[in-house]
Every structure is written in C-alpha cells, then in structure tokens.
Copies of this chain bind each other. A is one copy, B any other.
Amino acid sequence: MDQQQAAICQWLDKNEHRAIRLLQKLVEQPSTQGNEAAAQAIVLEKCRQIGLSIDVWEPGGKKLVQHQHFSSTRTNFKESPNIAAVWKGSGGGKSLLFNGHIDVVPEGDPTQWVHDPYTPKFEDGKVYGRGTSDMKGGNAAMLMAIEALVKCRAELKGDLIFQSVIEEESGGAGTLDAILRGYRADGAIIPEPTKMKIFPKQQGSMWFKVAVRGKSAHGGTRYEGVSAIEKAMIVIRCFRELEKLRNVRITDPLYSATPIPVPINIGKISGGTWPSSVPDEVILEGRCGIAPDEQPEEVQKEVQEYLSRLPEHDSWFEEHPVSLQWFGARWLPNSLEPDHPLVKGLASSCRTVTGKDPVLEASPWGTDGGMLAAAGGIPTVVFGPGITETAHHPNEYIPIKNVMESAKIMALFALNWCRAD
C-alpha cells in the first residue's frame, strides 16, 4: 500500500461512524417501488456535500418504455427520481461507474422482524433493517469511497460517476433510463450483496406462467374427470428434468461451488375452486435462470420446446397442451472473463486491502449489470458488502466491517482505474 492508498484507508477508518449514520438515514426511508423520493433526497444531499455534479430526473417517455430491454410493472415513474452524480476527471483516463439501486423489496410480514424494518439498529457490528444488504450498504460504501478520494485529494484522469437508480427489483428500468440519458463508462461496479466475493458473471432470469388444464367432475366420481393438479405434478417434474439438462451444460469453474447454477424455480401454484370438484385448471408461476452467456430468447425457445414434448410423458397433453407465457420482470445476464482488466484490477485492490485473494464466482441472481452491458455496452462487475442470504428476508442486516472494507477496495480500485489511460 502506498502513502495515498494508506491515507484513503485511514480516512475511511476514522469516518466509520459517518458511514453508519449515512446507512441508517438511507434505511429510515422505506424506498419501496414508487416511494423512492425521500431516500433519494438523502443521497442527493450527500452528493452535494461531497461536491459532485448532480443530475436528478424522473425516468420515462417513449424511448424508455418502447426499448427492447425495458421491463417493469409500471410505465409512469413520476415522483421516482433517478440520480447521477459525477466527479469529473482531469481528462484522458478511463472512466468508472459506481451503480447502485435505491429501491427495496417490501418488508413482508412485520411480525417476523425483531426490530422495526425501517428503524435501523446498529448492534454487534451489524446494521439491521430492510435494504441494509440489498443494497443501501453498498450505496453507502460507494459514497464513502468517493468522499475518501475527494477528501484525500486523489487526482483522477477519468470521470468517476455515481448512480442511485430506481427499479432494479423490477427489471432495471432506472439503469436503462440512465443509459438512454447518455451515461456511459469504461467500466462499472455494482455493489450488490456478494458477501465480498467478485461476480464477473451474473445470471439473468425471467418469469413465466404455465396454465395446465384438466377436466372437471364431481369429487365423488373423480374418475370421470381429469385432475389438473395431477397433470401439474407432471409439468413440475418436467421442469426439474429441464433444469438438470440445462445445468449439466454449465462447466464454468465460476459456478463450481454452486449446487444448481441456473435454477428453474416454481414459486407459485393455484388451482381448483371447490374441495369436492375435480380441478380443471392449475396455474404455475416461476422464475427461469438465464446463464451468463445465454440469450433470453434462446432460453424461452428451449423451455417452449421442452414443454411441447409433454405428450411423451402423458398422452393427455396431446389434446390439452399447456400454455406458456413470459410475464412480469426480466433481468438480463452479464459475462466478463475473469482476466478482464476490471476483474483483475478489483481483485488486486481486494488483496491490497484484505491481504487475501478474493473469491470469484458467478451470481445466482440477476442485477442491473446485464442492462449496463446489453443496453450500454459497459463492462460490469458485481462486488459488494451485503450478505446474500439476508436480502429479501426479515431481519436483513449488513456487517459494517464489510461496508468499510468494500469502500476501501472501491476507492483504491477507482484510484488505479481512473488514473490509467
């Protein structure tokens, strides 16, 4: 570690309490979809204090909603602002984008939380609350990293761009709109909750809905009907086989520690209307993983083709094929080779700060990285302080040690990256 690197790390160590306070203030604002403005106001004030050039806008318009990669449950983003804040470099260097989302998923059943999800407690080195890991802890780390660079008078050639976007949890419309507004960079880091691992590759995912048909009858003469529930069991088994087939193909060592690299999850089932009638329809809803090197369209085709072979399992499906629909949210996959300068540089910064080699893996979920790559052509890596397992769960938390370490790593990486030509 050279003198400037050491100064940056020391500044961050001394300002840990301010990182905690910033994170708590962000978590206090329940920035679920449509309610992002108050949390963005905290981000805005922090960017102003640091001295960045600020751009705030509400996403929207034809160009956005008609874009081939647009995916959201809404088309009106009024009162849901995006923020981009730039620290202009002296020129000639590589630019870097720090991208984080401000939206959080709903808190769910409040009785399952030990503390109120929006009254963040700091206990045993951890901050608890909705969005701490996913991903306000990552956002706080980015802002602290930039502040450290500014305060320690780092001289960057390339621009350092910070984004606090909406809509990641619904498919990335916030990040897409930032791209459409013109924001580009030579590389991007998204500090989603990777538990300090580096994810050069991220899987995408899509939602599907399958309608399985049966034939109604009175339950007392159920043999005169055909149970859509029993037929749905065959469809579910078929999805298990397809999942196996799709996953044996994945030989990427980044997935070697993952039991099922790109899962197909059946998340919802509903069917039948009356206990003593044979159910004549069952609806399955699920999520299909997209491998980092796959196109969503080819996966859709594979699923459709596989389901069209259901009559081989049960002749009922010959006359009553299931209907498949892709609906709701979609996250694009993303892939960088492990020897890409962005990955290698970030790994090197990890070693400088922690003294250890970082773990490289491929992600089990989608991020805005797929959008940055597909719509913006921006090489992106995912690396962040949050705890994967607590995201979307009650009693979500983040170790503040991770927040500070990731801030140091991102600051030192930006220092190198943006100084190079």
Partner of A286, one of B221, B275, B329: B275
| A268-B260 contact in complex given A220-B289, A221-B388, A236-B230, C-beta closer than 8 Å | no
B219 contacts A286, CB within 8 Å? yes
Interface string of A202-232 (1 = CB under 8 A from B): 0101011100000010111111100101101
Q: Which one of A71-79, A84-92, A115-123, A277-285 is at the interface?
A: A277-285
Contacts of A328 in B (CB 8 A): 275
A15 within 8 A of B: no
Is A304 part of the binding interface, using a Cβ–Cβ cutoff of 8 Å? no
A275 touching B265, Cβ below 8 Å: yes
Contact with B along A259-270 (1 / 0, CB 8 A): 110010111111
Per-residue interface assignment for chain A, residues 4 to 17, with 1 indicating a CB less than 8 Å from any chain B CB and 0 otherwise = 00000000000000
Q: Which of B209, B227, B269, B392 contacts A229 (CB 8 A)?
A: B269
Asked whether A364 lies within 8 Å of B218 as measured between CB atoms, the reply is yes
Bound-complex Cα distance A229 to B266 (A): 8
Cα separation A227 to B273 with both chains bound (whole Å): 23
Interface of chain A residues 182 through 215 with chain B (CB within 8 A):
203, 205, 207-209
Give complex CA distance A388, B220 in Å: 11
Given contacts A203-B220, A364-B220, contact A267 B279 (CB under 8 A): yes
**14 A–B contact pairs at CB < 8 A?**
A205-B219, A209-B275, A219-B265, A219-B287, A220-B289, A223-B259, A229-B266, A230-B236, A266-B279, A267-B274, A267-B279, A268-B274, A276-B287, A277-B392
